[in-house]
Structure 1
Amino acid sequence: MAGEWVVWALLSAAFAAATAILAKAGSAAIDPDLATLIRTAVVLVCLLVLVTATGKWTTSETPSTRTVTLLVLSGIATGASWLCYFRALKAGEVSKVAPVDKLSVVLVAVFAVVFLRERLNAREWTGIGLVAAGVLVLALKR
């Protein structure tokens, strides 16, 4: 039986798919940067409600400076990703933009090996290679 992480990852994929379709349709008539701001504001409000409702403002752990720095950098990377994504959606078809965006799967694997010292076996590298090949097939002009 798959672990709990698989359920969360599948839900993430389903929500990401919905996000792409809704973002393309919702941002068709506005500037992509404004669309990103609206999306970000909604995410912020939802998380404020969730953290407040679950009482997670107080915690026994005090985050280290390193932890906070890494999370701030992650937030900056997320913002940059979202800005680029909305600009790509404005310029292209969602059925092409979203798969190319998923090249991040390949980059995550490479970055995990380089920066986190994770090890991938031959089967995992084969899967990553297939993702990369799929992105190339979808990105190349006909």
Structure 2
Amino acid sequence: MTEAAPHRIAIYVDADACPVKDEVYRVAARYGLHVTIVSNSFLNVPREPWIERVVVGDRLDEADDWIAERAGRGDIVVTADVPLASRCVKAGAVALAPNGKAFTDASVGLALATRNLMQDLREAGAITGGPKPFSPKDRSAFLGALDRAVMRWKREFGI
């Protein structure tokens, strides 16, 4: 009987507007994890064997679809896109926003509803501003959340 290969934790980054790619690289290097940077256009990434760059077409949600088709239990997805986070959580992955907020089964429904409401208000002209600026506190919260997600999978898979 052959022994099954141990699970390999992978991090998928919805990268076009992601402000925490450097933090992902730092955590992945510390734990020896594979990182896939997915974008609609060419992005510079460090030349490391554990970092893979995937450039998809420019079709709406093409990067999201690519990630959602591959992410599953034992993986971590970094995205600010609520519909993508919802798909990944349903597939068993951990989904983290760049500000460190973890999407869960319990929170993703509310996040989708809030996203849709805000979109409707913007389209009606009731809201003209965008999201608050990304802060050092957000970056720190993300680093902590990513570290906790990695440790969760390592414990669960015994690696």
Compare the two structures and name the one with the higher helix fraction: 1
TM-score, normalised on structure 2? Answer: 0.27
**Higher relative contact order (CA closer than 8 Å, sequence separation 6+):** 1
Compare the two structures and name the one with the higher strand fraction: 2
TM-score, normalised on structure 1? Answer: 0.30
